[in-house]
Chain A
Amino acid sequence: MNFSAEYPAPSPADVTPAQRAARDRVMLYIRGLDLPPSKGLRLAARSMEEEPSSPGEGMDALELLLDKEGLLPGLPGERGQNIPSFPPLNRSVMVAEEMDRVPWRTSFFRFLRRWRRELFGRGK
C-alpha cells in the first residue's frame, strides 16, 4: 500500500493565517467602497499580487491603488474640496429687541421723556 498517496503533500499554494487575514481585510474594504464588482475584484486582486503577509501590508497596497485610481475615500469629488451640505451664507443680524418686563418702573421716566419731547421738540 502506498501510504504517501493518502495524504496530500504540503503545497506552496497553502494560505497562511496572516495572508488570509490580509485577503479578508482587503475584500471587506472593497465591499465597503461598494464599487462595481469587476473593478472591485480587480483592485483586490492587484493589491494581493505582492502576497501581503499582514492586513497592514494588504491595506497599504490597496491604498496605493485606490489613490492612483482616484478612489481613495477621503473626499467625494475632487480631492481637497468639501461637499457643501448647505448653501452659501447670506448673513443678517438678529438681535433681541428691548423687552421691558417691568414697565411701571420706567413709566415715570418715559412720561418725562415724552413730556420733554412735547415741550421742547424731539430729544437726542
Chain B
Amino acid sequence: MADKDRIPPWRHTGSRRRLLLLTIVLIPTIISANTMARLLPDRGSILLDTFLVAVFTTLFAWISVGFWTSIAGLVILLTKRDSFRVSRACDGLDFSIADPAARTAILIPVYNEDVKRVIAGLRTTFASVRQTGSMKRFDFFLLSDTTDPDVWIEEEEAWYRFCKEEDAFGRVFYRKRTSNTKRKSGNVADFCRRWGKSYRYMAVFDADSIMSGETLVRLVQIMEARPDIGILQTPPKAVNRETLIARVQQFANHVYGPLLAAGLHFWQLGDAQYCGHNAILRVEPFIKHCELPRLPGKGPLSGDILSHDYVESALMCRAGYGIWLTYDLRGSWEETPPTLIDELKRDRRWCQGNLQHTRLLFTRGFFPAHRALFINGILSYGSALLWMAFLIVNSAQAISEALFEPVYMPILRKFLPELPVWRPHWAVSLLGSTTLLLFLPKFLGALPILLADFRARLYGGKIRLFFSILVEVVLSMILTPIRMVFHSLFVISTLLGKSVGWGTQSRDDRGTTWREAFLAHWWGSLLGICWATVVYLIIPSFFWWISPITFSLALSVPISVFTGRAAVGRFFRKAGLFLIPEEVDRPPELAVLDENLNMPAPYTPFPFSRKQGFLRAVVDPLVHGLHTSLLLRFRRGAPSKEHSREKIVEKALASGPDSLTRKEKTALLRAPHHLRELHRKVWRLGDDDAAARWGLVPPEKE
C-alpha cells in the first residue's frame, strides 16, 4: 500500500530534474522571443506584434521540451546508466510468478472491431503466455461494448471456437455490456466492479495490441517488487502496416521513439503518464481512486471524460502511487492508423479529450507534473491552431506591407525618420535554432542504433537508415501543414460545440479512394490555392517562403491518396526504406500472429458470410444455440415489449433479415424466446423466395 504522506526519494530527484528542464527551456525561449520581437518591423501594430511574439514564444518553448527530452533520452541510452530504471526489479529472474495470489486479468476492450484480427491477437498473446509456464496467473477478458448486432454474434462465436480449440474455457472470458456508459473507461470500470476483487493486477490492451508472455510476466514481477507502483506503462512499437504513411509512422516510432521514451522517463520518473493500453495497473487502488466523474454542463467539454488515461494516472498519483514508464522493455506492439484520414479521425476524438483537460487543470491534489501533462496534451492540438494563426498573421503583415505605404515619420514632431533595420543574421540564427530543435533529434535517434549494431542491419543498413530519416523528414514537412489545418479545425469546432462528423476509423490497409480524399480535403486544398494565389499576386517574394505550406495544402487530395496506398508502402519497403527490426528479424509473436491471421475459415454449409452475424444467429443452429445459451436473463419483458418483439418476428418472416433495422436486430438478439421462435419458423418456411432470403435455398435454385 502506498503511503501518501511519505515523499519517495525519486520525487525529489524528479522535481530537481524538471526544474532543470524548465530552466534550459525558458532561457533560450526568452532569448529567442526577444530576438523575434526585435526582428519584427518597428512600424507594425503593437497588438499584432505582441500576438506574434506570444505565439512564437509558446511554440518555441513547446518544441524545446521535445528537443531536451530527446537529448536526455540519448544520454540515458548511450551511457546505460539509470538508477531509477524500474525493470532492474526483475533482473536475473526467471519467468515465474511466485505468489499464487498475484493474478492478472488481461483486458481486451472491443467496440465493433475486426473480430478476426482481435481473436488472432488474443490467440498470439495467449500462446506466448502459455509458453512462459505462468498461464495459471493470467486470465483473459474480451470486454465487448459492440453495438453492431452482426459483430456481436461474430465475437461470441469466435470466443467459443477459440476456447474449444485452445482448451481455454475458464481462462478466457467474454462479456458483452448492454450499455456503453462512459465508453472504454466505463468498460474497464465495469470489469473492476464485477471481478476486480479477484485480481491483483490488470493489463489493459487495445483491440490491436500484442504483448509477449515474457513482457507480461516481467511487468507482474516489477509490480510485485515495487508495491509503490500503481501503473506501469510499456512503450508499444508500431508494426504490421504496409501503407506509406503508416510505414513512416512505424519507422519514426522505432528510431525516435526509444529516445523520447527514455527522455520522458528521465524527466518524469514516477510521474509518467498512462496511455490507456499496453500497460499493467494495480487493481485495488484503481478501484478505490480512479473512477472518473462526468464533467457537468453541456457541450463537448462536458460529459464523459474521453481521454481517460491521463486523468486516471493523475488520480492514481494523487492517491500516492507512482506511474512509471518501462522504456527498456520490449515485446509490446500496436498498429497505427493506415491512412491520413484514419489518423485524423482518431485525432478528432483525442483533440476533444485533451481539450476537456482544460477543465481539470486546477483540480485539487493533482501533482504539477500531471498538470504539465494536461497542458502538453492540450498543446498537442492547440499548437496547430497557434501555428496556423502565426502563419496567417505573418502573411497578412507581409501583404499589408506591400499594399500600404510605409510611414517613416510616425510622430510629426520627430525630426528624423524611423527607417526599417534589417538584421539578417538574427533572422538566420532564429531560423537555424528552430530548425535544430526540430530536426536534430531525428538524426540523433540513429546513434543508439549504430552503437548497438554499426551496420544497422535491422534498419536495412547505415545508408538506408540515414536516407530513410531524410525522406521521413521531407514527408513530415509535406504532411504537417495538412495536419495543422485539420487540428486547427478540430480545436475550433470543439470549442464552438460543433461536431466534425466522420465514420469509424479503419484498422486495415484498404487505402483511401479519390472520392474519400476529395470529400475530406477539398476545403484544405482550396485554402492552400487561395492563400498561395493572394500572396503570389501581391508579394511574390514572400510566396516562396510560404510555398511549403501552401503547396502541401493545395495537393492534399493526392497526398492523402498516395500516402494511404499499400502498394506505395511496399515499393518503399522493396527499396529498403523505412525498414524496422520486426520486418527484418520477425519476432516469434508476430510470426505467430501472421499464421493466426491466415488460419482457414471454419466449416459452414451456409452460403452467407460469417460477418452476417444476425443471420447466423437465426439460421445456423450451432450459432443460435450458443447465443441463446449465453444470454443470462431469460425473463420475459413487459407485455408492450413482448408485443413489439412479436411484431419484429413477423416483419422478419415476411420480408427477410434485410428489412430489420439495427435496433430491431439487437432487440431480437436480446430476447432468446423470440429468437428461438424465429429460428423455428424460418426453418419451416415453405416459400422458396422467403427461404432464399435466409440462405436456406441451394444456390442453383435461386
A contacts, CB < 8 Å to B: 18, 21, 24-25, 28-29, 31-34, 54-56, 59-60, 63, 73-77, 81-83, 85-87, 89-97, 99-104
A72, B291: Cα distance in complex, Å: 45
Are A100 and B364 within 8 A (Cβ)? yes
Given contacts A90-B197, A90-B198, A100-B363, contact A82 B685 (CB under 8 A): no
A24, B625: Cα distance in complex, Å: 21
Of residues B159, B197, B315, B696, which shows the largest number of chain A Cβ atoms within 10 Å of its Cβ?
Answer: B696
A94, B289: Cα distance in complex, Å: 8
* Chain A contact residues, majority secondary structure: loop
Contacts of A75 in B (CB 8 A): 625, 628-629
Is B624 in contact with chain A by the CB < 8 A criterion? yes
A90, B191: Cα distance in complex, Å: 10
A82, B627: Cα distance in complex, Å: 10
Are A73 and B362 within 8 A (Cβ)? no
Q: Contact flags (1/0) for B195-215 with A, using CB distance below 8 Å? A: 111100000000000000000
Are B194 and A89 within 8 A (Cβ)? yes
Contacts of A25 in B (CB 8 A): 683, 691, 696
A-B complex: 7 closest residue pairs judged by Cβ atoms? A73-B625, A56-B684, A31-B605, A73-B621, A96-B293, A103-B364, A100-B364
Are A76 and B626 within 8 A (Cβ)? yes
A55, B696: Cα distance in complex, Å: 11
Are A21 and B688 within 8 A (Cβ)? yes
A31, B698: Cα distance in complex, Å: 13
Contacts of B315 in A (CB 8 A): 97
Q: Contact flags (1/0) for B664-689 with A, using CB distance below 8 Å? A: 00000000000010001001111010
Is B287 in contact with chain A by the CB < 8 A criterion? yes
Supplied contacts A33-B622, A86-B141, 11 more A-B pairs, CB within 8 Å: A21-B686, A25-B691, A28-B606, A32-B606, A73-B624, A77-B629, A86-B173, A94-B193, A96-B291, A99-B293, A100-B365
Contacts of B195 in A (CB 8 A): 86-87, 89-90
**Nearest Cβ on chain B to A13's Cβ, whole angstroms:** 22
Contacts of B676 in A (CB 8 A): 74
Given contacts A87-B198, A95-B291, A96-B292, contact A54 B686 (CB under 8 A): yes
Is B61 in contact with chain A by the CB < 8 A criterion? no
Contacts of A63 in B (CB 8 A): 680
For B605, give its contact among A32, A54, A59, A60 (CB under 8 Å).
Answer: A32
Are A102 and B362 within 8 A (Cβ)? yes
Are A29 and B628 within 8 A (Cβ)? no
Are B362 and A101 within 8 A (Cβ)? yes
Is B192 in contact with chain A by the CB < 8 A criterion? yes
- 29 sample A-B contacts, Cβ–Cβ < 8 Å, listed by A number: A21-B688, A24-B697, A28-B606, A31-B605, A32-B605, A32-B606, A63-B680, A73-B622, A73-B625, A75-B628, A76-B625, A76-B629, A81-B629, A83-B630, A87-B170, A87-B173, A90-B195, A92-B197, A93-B193, A94-B189, A94-B287, A94-B291, A96-B293, A97-B291, A99-B293, A101-B359, A101-B360, A101-B362, A102-B362
Are A85 and B630 within 8 A (Cβ)? yes
**Nearest Cβ on chain B to A4's Cβ, whole angstroms:** 33
Is B455 in contact with chain A by the CB < 8 A criterion? no
Given contacts A89-B195, A94-B291, A103-B364, contact A82 B630 (CB under 8 A): yes
Residue of A nearest to B286 (CB): A94
Residue of B nearest to A102 (CB): B362
Are A85 and B174 within 8 A (Cβ)? yes
A56, B684: Cα distance in complex, Å: 4
Given contacts A85-B174, A94-B196, A96-B292, contact A59 B683 (CB under 8 A): yes
Contacts of B196 in A (CB 8 A): 90, 92, 94
**Nearest Cβ on chain A to B171's Cβ, whole angstroms:** 10
Is B407 in contact with chain A by the CB < 8 A criterion? no
Contacts of A95 in B (CB 8 A): 291
**Nearest Cβ on chain B to A58's Cβ, whole angstroms:** 9
Is B603 in contact with chain A by the CB < 8 A criterion? yes
A101, B305: Cα distance in complex, Å: 14
Given contacts A29-B683, A59-B684, A91-B194, contact A85 B628 (CB under 8 A): no
Are B683 and A55 within 8 A (Cβ)? yes
Are A86 and B193 within 8 A (Cβ)? no
A124, B293: Cα distance in complex, Å: 26
Contacts of A76 in B (CB 8 A): 625-626, 629
A73, B621: Cα distance in complex, Å: 6
Is B632 in contact with chain A by the CB < 8 A criterion? yes
Which positions 631-681 of chain B face chain A at CB distance < 8 Å? 631-632, 676, 680
**Nearest Cβ on chain A to B109's Cβ, whole angstroms:** 14
